[in-house]
Amino acid sequence: MPIPDFQNLMLPMLQLAADGQEHRLSDMIEALAQQFELTEDDRAELLPSGGQARFDNRVGWARTHLGKALLLASPRRGWLRISERGRAALAQQPARIDMAFLSQYPEYVAFRSRGRAAENSVAAATAASTTSSMRTATAVAVSSPRVAPSLRHCAGRGRILNLRGPRLLPVVSVFPWRLDCPSRGAPHGRVPAECRS
């Protein structure tokens, strides 16, 4: 049997948590692997990054989505339990719990909207960049004064920290300057003429 996607794991995960007890995520992963009759090879399959087992990652995403819809609670790190809303969802006896099902909960819709808004703003900023031969970064309005120095620091390396997670995204900088300029460390607002795009 192929490794199920995270949406196919949501209902079984919620059903396993239906006893109302706190469950370790690692125990939940084991129980779900047995329920889906995964082989050792299936369990050993890694993500392309090589940093995590694909099945464990998908269980983690199922937990995240159920948690954002407030169907699961996380009483402490690495543990989960069903919430009252989760019990009510199971009482409906759904054939499947997926992202469409979770969209009935306003907290989940807000979670999904925040993610899309952040992705769209980074994509728009990246698309607005000028020629790659100049390796020019695009100016981005940053509301938090504590974030701007981080962006400047990362822009010099051609990457920017993703504010939603540990991934690195293509360069988007606070300043429109050429990244190969030797004077790119100039203070804010004082970009030397040879570095301007």
Q: Find the DSSP H helices in 6-133.
A: 6-16, 25-35, 40-44, 54-68, 84-91, 99-102, 106-127
Q: Report how far residue 7's alpha carbon sits from residue 24's, in angstroms, rounded to the nearest whole number.
A: 20
**In this structure, what token pair is assigned to residue 68?**
């954002």
The confidence score (pLDDT) of residue 173 equals 43
CA–CA distance, 50 with 162 (Å, rounded to integer) = 20
Model confidence at 97, in pLDDT bands (50, 70, 90)?
very high
CB 56 within 8 A of CB 48: no
pLDDT in the model for residue 83:
98
Domains with residue ranges and CATH for the chain? 6-104 (1.10.10), 129-195 (no CATH)
pLDDT digits (tens, 9 = 90+) for 132-191: 433 433 334 344 444 444 444 444 444 444 444 454 444 444 444 445 555 545 455 555
CB 126 within 8 A of CB 170: yes
**pLDDT one-digit tens code per residue, 27-83:** 999 999 999 999 999 999 999 999 999 999 999 999 999 999 999 999 999 999 999
pTM: 0.61
Which pLDDT belongs to residue 123?
Answer: 59
